[in-house]
Structure 1
């Protein structure tokens, strides 16, 4: 038996076990370090939320922007041209939200997994999956209750009497008793999280599929945690192709985008890909420009009457060969366009830097609050600005035969009033969103944390270090 010195064993262990792991510490300036900036994600989120607001304004008061021209014989307006039509016709904002869900939910678990901390990755997935429902449900329910209270006070009366067909469609009509309205409130809470329908603010329809999308991300992370990187990439691509051929409603908007977000989140930690992109700078710029232009053209497919223009009619013809039958072609093209645009951003450092400016970061911080409050404010405050607060006069008349004749819809005010009202209303939306972000969101976060502390097991106490005497001694 050779002589034994415990300090020798300790020294050998320190030399064998690395002090730092890849993507877990080290110099933040080193390529591939996880502390790289992901601020561009918040900037992209801010743009997406603003596009949602613009879309709903166009849907309410200029629905012809959803078509390539006002009618089959008319010349297209500038805002109906390809690319320029994207902010007004919708679809792109919610699709971006779904991508961001996949990207952000996967970021930390993949980082921990690549660092060799699988236990930490699984713990992160468990806690994130638990927090996700209350972090969506709590603020959405508060927004629903506020909208319900405003409805009881008659705040939607003007919207229901206006000449805006979409405002009339989306503004709730009251039941004939307060008791029925209370029952209706609870039914709407259930339907929001079961069917996606909510009478008091129909913009909440996207929250349920976004919640389901996040759960898909957590399940896929769990299932692929121990897969090698190249095989995880193959699984992501297989899932994307699966959802592409699935003609179920909105799979291209939510499930496909969530998996695509996971793919890019995982790819962001791959040094080989980063070095390849950085080395081929000119090729990267050409590819990014092509992807951006192609994506913008594809995402501009009209939501209504694509047959009225030659370029969109060709896309309509092509859709039968690249999409499964009985799908929403507009949403399918939007999914492809968004994916190309995001890839162009992903490989373009200058675009990421632009998306990280202070204004877009601030807009991104308010994005969820904007999504929750803008619908109610549109059908109340903005309608008051454009039609009057009282909704009067509104008197039924009787014709010569004794039939009741309903009054004409309230007409919108002159263009100069509209030109002043809409920018002022947008400012109001972001003021309310900022207050929501500063007060309501922290309250919901605290409630979620209390719920987690109540329901989760306490973390295991750290085990004492194994004494060196228990390590088997080498023999000679």
Structure 2
């Protein structure tokens, strides 16, 4: 913890970098080793090492998007809560207004540039190998041309609209989470606006009540987004209380015991498999608890991941050691480039990595017509050489983070400047605001 009255928040950026890494890792798993989402390959097999509890969690990836949601809530609340607690209500309201203005262009502009690049690659048939490879997930998630150039130009506008209406653009399906994240930011701003004049404890109680309401809501993905947004606000609010931090840090043994227990239990329950739950005793035991913890008609896999992240992040939040670790230069660098990694990894996986794994030719693909039956597709087989996989994925990760760094340095910074320009033209200057207030016009 920092020694002044402000809580250490640098670790949040490092955790963001871990979240983006986990998202990429789970997409690699979906593409080439889907049984890692199960407790074992089949009912009679023994579990592989990476299918065991704890070790399996990074590859399942559900927790990665939840981490982004939590961090959105935490980061969006830091400055306005600091201003509210210092009595600067005018500053807090100004921060909320300008943050609400900045959020859409800061998400939409870079995402649209990524969508345009994916559209161009589609027109150039850059996903040709992905279309005929032996990975069903890659084949289904790689975009295809559906008509001539005129049709594809119109389709681009349709898909852009879908990005921010339904959240599922065909040219880059990985952008599906951006719309819920945008909506979630406004949930946070509205919550802070509605509670900014409350007493601190009453504001915490209100946010906790909202969190409980969303947890009891059986609408899809409320545990992935709304609960995480509000939990981020709640932890930020509690953590900004100096007396509370001093009280926690004055009991180091108890604090370490609690954080160790929470992180360990969180890693265990977060291992809940995505399918074939009955194949392992440990997953069956967790499954029996579902009716007692979750509303009906909800996805238990996502609910267990949500419980896991709640516990894990409290462990991080209580641990100065872990916060210091996530605040180092490597994790901070990963965090700064996390959004760029999220936007670019799908395109690079379907255009570059598939060629490392399958080669540059789709000649091995063929369709065998069978009279009176469905045709048999002979997909391009993946390499069976483990060394090829090791070198390919290692080089691809280097390429991914190089591209992400360049994206953050040039594309994202340009989007930030464009947003700043829009803000300067659409908002009254702060000096004017002060003069108006002094003249009694506000």
TM > 0.5? yes
Match of 1:420 among 391, 395, 398: 391
Match of 2:379 among 406, 409, 417: 409
Partners of 1:293 and 1:231 in 2: CA distance? 32
Q: Within 5 A, what are the aligned runs for 1:211-226?
A: 211-226=182-197
- Superposed CA deviations along residues 7-32 of structure 1, whole A, max 9, x for unmatched, are xxxxxxxxxxxxxxxxxxxxx97542
Partners of 1:96 and 1:403 in 2: CA distance? 47
Is the contact made by 2:364 and 2:379 (CA closer than 8 Å) also made in structure 1?
A: no
Change in Cα spacing, 1:232 to 1:398, as seen in structure 2 (3 Å) is closer
Q: Secondary structure in 2 aligned to 1:451?
A: helix
Supply the RMSD in Å over aligned alpha carbons: 1.9
Partners of 1:465 and 1:79 in 2: CA distance? 62
Match of 2:130 among 146, 149, 159: 159
Q: Structure 2: 5+ residue runs without aligned partners?
A: none
Match of 1:146 among 117, 139, 143: 117
- Superposed CA deviations along residues 158-212 of structure 1, whole A, max 9, x for unmatched, are 1010000110010012113111111111111000111011111111000000111
Q: Structure 1: 5+ residue runs without aligned partners?
A: 1-27, 467-476
Residue 15 of structure 2 corresponds to 44
Residue 329 of structure 2 corresponds to 358
Partners of 1:424 and 1:405 in 2: CA distance? 37
Match of 2:226 among 237, 243, 255: 255
Partners of 1:383 and 1:89 in 2: CA distance? 21
Residue 96 of structure 2 corresponds to 125
More helix by share: 2
Partners of 2:412 and 2:195 in 1: CA distance? 32
Alignment partner of 1:80 is 2:54: no
Partners of 1:114 and 1:262 in 2: CA distance? 14
Is the contact made by 2:57 and 2:271 (CA closer than 8 Å) also made in structure 1?
A: yes
Alignment partner of 1:189 is 2:160: yes
Is the contact made by 1:288 and 1:348 (CA closer than 8 Å) also made in structure 2?
A: yes
Residue 289 of structure 1 corresponds to 260
Match of 1:440 among 399, 408, 411: 411
Change in Cα spacing, 1:270 to 1:180, as seen in structure 2 (3 Å) is same
Count of residues in Structure 1 that have an aligned counterpart in Structure 2: 437
Partners of 1:259 and 1:404 in 2: CA distance? 50
Partners of 1:264 and 1:403 in 2: CA distance? 59
Change in Cα spacing, 1:303 to 1:114, as seen in structure 2 (3 Å) is same
Q: CA deviation at 1:457?
A: 2.6
Partners of 1:407 and 1:334 in 2: CA distance? 37
TM-score by length of 1: 0.89
Partners of 2:316 and 2:434 in 1: CA distance? 43
Match of 1:231 among 202, 206, 209: 202
Partners of 1:270 and 1:301 in 2: CA distance? 34
Match of 1:173 among 124, 135, 144: 144
Change in Cα spacing, 1:142 to 1:228, as seen in structure 2 (3 Å) is same
Alignment partner of 1:241 is 2:200: no
Q: Secondary structure in 2 aligned to 1:259?
A: helix
- Superposed CA deviations along residues 97-121 of structure 1, whole A, max 9, x for unmatched, are 0000000000000001111110000
Q: Within 5 A, what are the aligned runs for 1:205-216?
A: 205-216=176-187
Partners of 1:111 and 1:73 in 2: CA distance? 56
Q: CA deviation at 1:390?
A: 3.1
TM-score by length of 2: 0.95
Partners of 1:407 and 1:119 in 2: CA distance? 65
Partners of 1:254 and 1:134 in 2: CA distance? 20
Alignment partner of 1:100 is 2:68: no
Q: CA deviation at 1:146?
A: 0.4
More displaced 10-residue stretch of structure 1: 164-173 or 453-462: 453-462
Q: Within 5 A, what are the aligned runs for 1:364-383?
A: 364-383=335-354
Q: Within 5 A, what are the aligned runs for 1:266-277?
A: 266-277=237-248
Change in Cα spacing, 1:29 to 1:263, as seen in structure 2 (3 Å) is closer
Is the contact made by 1:396 and 1:404 (CA closer than 8 Å) also made in structure 2?
A: no
Partners of 1:234 and 1:264 in 2: CA distance? 12
Q: CA deviation at 1:262?
A: 0.3
Residue 113 of structure 1 corresponds to 84
Change in Cα spacing, 1:349 to 1:99, as seen in structure 2 (3 Å) is same
Greater Rg by CA: 1
Q: CA deviation at 1:38?
A: 1.5
Residue 22 of structure 1 corresponds to none
Partners of 2:169 and 2:362 in 1: CA distance? 24
Q: CA deviation at 1:141?
A: 0.3
Residue 455 of structure 1 corresponds to 426
Change in Cα spacing, 1:464 to 1:226, as seen in structure 2 (3 Å) is closer
Q: CA deviation at 1:458?
A: 3.1
Q: CA deviation at 1:269?
A: 1.6
